């Protein structure tokens, strides 16, 4: 990543999550685990997206809210966002796949800044749905940005995803820091 400044932005949900066919309670959300691996490899700055209104603790209730937000094309308000991201050339964008795309909070973030001339590198966690249509949705939200091919990480395997993340970074031309991970 020599000479390029990067930001790792992610939305992650701890607590009740669907993993491997079961609802489990996660102390740290799967996407946060992956985002921290990307940070370790790139040395970039880390930014967690948090909604002002928290999602319900219950997994099923959260999926109902997420589907309603998607149907309504909602843009949930976010807490503590930076005034500018101008100093970053590359933005790694992490999120869980919710109903085939990124959570609507991710689009709140994307629509809050000008990504013209920036490179967006998406990655998502999922339990079988891969990237869904999130890459094309990100391209539509950020027409002036270059959106590279993303990495889909099965949430139940995220703890073992370090080597996959490293290979993906190298193949995307985002070579990890020496000795990282």
pTM for the structure as a whole: 0.94
Residue 153 inside a domain? The answer is yes
Residue 63 inside a domain? The answer is yes
Residue 67 inside a domain? The answer is yes
Residue 108 inside a domain? The answer is yes
Residue 126 inside a domain? The answer is yes
Whether pLDDT at 86 is above 80:
yes
- Please write the tens of the pLDDT for every residue from 17-47: 988 889 999 999 999 999 999 999 999 999 9
CATH number at residue 15: 3.40.50.360
Q: Which residues contact 72 (CB under 8 A, 6 or more apart)?
A: none
Q: Which residues contact 3 (CB under 8 A, 6 or more apart)?
A: none
Mean pLDDT for the stretch of residues 73-84: 96
């Amino acid at each position: 990543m020599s000479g390029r400044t990067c930001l790792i932005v992610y939305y992650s949900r701890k607590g009740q999550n669907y993993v491997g066919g079961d609802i489990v309670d996660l102390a740290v959300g799967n996407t946060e685990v992956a985002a921290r691996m990307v940070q370790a490899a790139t040395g970039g700055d880390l930014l967690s997206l948090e909604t002002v209104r928290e999602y319900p603790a219950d997994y099923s209730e959260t999926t109902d809210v997420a589907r309603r937000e998607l149907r309504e094309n909602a843009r949930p308000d976010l807490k503590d966002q930076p005034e500018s991201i101008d100093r970053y050339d590359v933005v790694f964008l992490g999120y869980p796949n919710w109903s085939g795309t990124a959570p609507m909070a991710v689009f709140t973030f994307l629509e809050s800044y000008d990504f013209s001339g920036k490179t967006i590198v998406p990655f998502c966690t999922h339990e079988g749905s891969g990237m869904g249509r999130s890459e094309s949705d990100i391209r539509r939200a950020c027409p002036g940005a270059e959106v590279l091919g993303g990495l889909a990480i099965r949430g139940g395997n995220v703890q073992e995803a370090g080597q996959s993340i490293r290979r993906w970074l190298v193949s995307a031309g985002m070579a990890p820091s020496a000795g990282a991970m």
